[in-house]
Amino acid sequence: MEVMNLAVLLRQGWDEYEVSIDAFAVSDGVEDPEAALRAAVQDFIDSGTEESEDALKHACGDFNWGDAMNCIPDKYFVNRGLTPMQTNQAVTVAVNHDEVLDNTGFNHDDDGDDNDDLFGFGEHSNTGINVQCRKGLLSSSANTNCFI
């Protein structure tokens, strides 16, 4: 089986529940994927092309990772040994770290109803994270449930 190295860029949004994910296949010669990512961004910034100048102007002096991932053509990453992966090439599965996968032999239902619940959340409840994937974007919001 062929092993593929991946670099995953996690970008936290304005609120703590919004996270964007960008995945890159890492070429064998790349020893430090973070340095390669940063170098690709710097290559774009320093390129002096019309598209880089427009992106920098649009960012009003605050060119950030969100701008970079939305504006930088793939060729800058590929030149640094990183191949951006599209949504149809990677699947993100988000799970709750504390999700009970087997509670056989442990009965914590002591309220007399038919639900196997702890603290009133119910047996299939998670912590209230909604996960949506589109174009490599993972966003979540509190107070809704998602079961993957």
- How many CB atoms lie under 10 A from the CB of residue 24? 25
Per-residue pLDDT of 86-119, as tens digits, reads 755 555 667 788 888 877 766 555 556 555 554 4
Domain annotation covers residue 57: yes
pLDDT recorded at residue 96: 80
β-sheet bridge partners, residue 7: 24
Q: Is residue 12 part of a domain?
A: yes
Q: Is the pLDDT of residue 76 over 90?
A: yes
Number of domains within the chain: 1
Low-confidence winner among 10-19, 26-35, 83-92, 137-146 (lowest mean pLDDT): 137-146
* pLDDT, position 82: 97
**What is the band of 21 on the pLDDT scale with cuts at 50, 70, 90?**
confident
- Give a yes or no: residue 37 inside a domain: yes
Residues listed for the chain: 148
Q: Report if residue 16 sits inside a domain.
A: yes
> With bands split at pLDDT 50, 70 and 90, how would you rate the model's confidence at 30?
very high
Across 12-16, 49-53, 113-117, 141-145, which has the greatest mean pLDDT? 49-53
CB of 13 closer than 8 Å to CB of 19: yes
Identify whether 126 is part of a domain: no
Residue 132 included in any domain:
no
Read off φ and ψ for residue 16, nearest 5 degrees. -65, -15
Strand, coil or helix: what is 26? Answer: strand
Domain span at residue 54 reads 5-88
> Encoding tokens for residue 26?
């890492």
Residue 78 covered by a domain: yes
The reply to whether 147 falls in a domain is no
Q: Output the CA angle 40-17-59, nearest 5 degrees.
A: 40
Contact 11, 127 (CB under 8 A): no
Give residue 62's pLDDT: 93
Tokens 């909604």 locate to 130
Prediction pTM value: 0.60
Residues in Cβ contact with 11 at an 8 Å cutoff, skipping those fewer than 6 apart: 19, 20, 21, 22, 65, 66, 69
